[in-house]
Amino acid sequence: MYEIAADPRTNRLHLSFTGRMDRAEMETAADETVAAAERLRDGFDIVNDLSGFTPPSPEAAEPIKRAQAELKEMGVDRVVRVTDGETSQVVVNAFERRSQDVGYSGETADSVAEAERKLDEKEVAGYASA
């Protein structure tokens, strides 16, 4: 299951992924993510809540990398991934590896509120804007 919301006021894209998603669902989520990002300005940030997300199969993960590449081209700035004690390190590593493959790195936070606080800090060296 997933939820996607663009907030033009804060110029942030909010993503939430839970459970296990098959390739068709990942394709749909990737397409909806890119479409939502089109409503934001260059330099937008992403809060990606991965708490409760189960590692997808390799073929189901392919749309993630495609969407990450498109988001990079669209001007993503900072990405903060929300994880908790139940989040598989496989998921965290896979998202980071794919984002690095397309040219950016992400930060992590323990909650959506913490992710928002991190993004409220103006700039952090070493991430997409660097």
Rg over alpha carbons for the chain, rounded to the nearest Å, is 13
Q: For position 124, what pLDDT does the model report?
A: 54
Let me know: does 36 contact 13? Beta carbons within 8 Å. Answer: yes
The residue type of 38 is E
- pLDDT of amino acid 60: 80
Q: What is the pTM of this model?
A: 0.85
Residue 130, pLDDT score: 42
Q: What is the pLDDT along the chain (130 residues), one digit of tens a residue?
A: 999 999 999 999 999 999 988 899 999 999 999 999 999 999 999 999 998 888 778 888 889 889 999 999 999 999 999 988 777 777 788 888 888 888 888 899 999 999 999 999 865 554 554 4
What class, spelled out in words, does domain 2-121 have in CATH?
Answer: alpha beta
> With contact defined as beta carbons under 8 Å apart, do 33 and 69 qualify?
no
pLDDT of residue 129: 46
Quote the DSSP letter at residue 19: B
Largest interatomic CA distance in the chain: 37
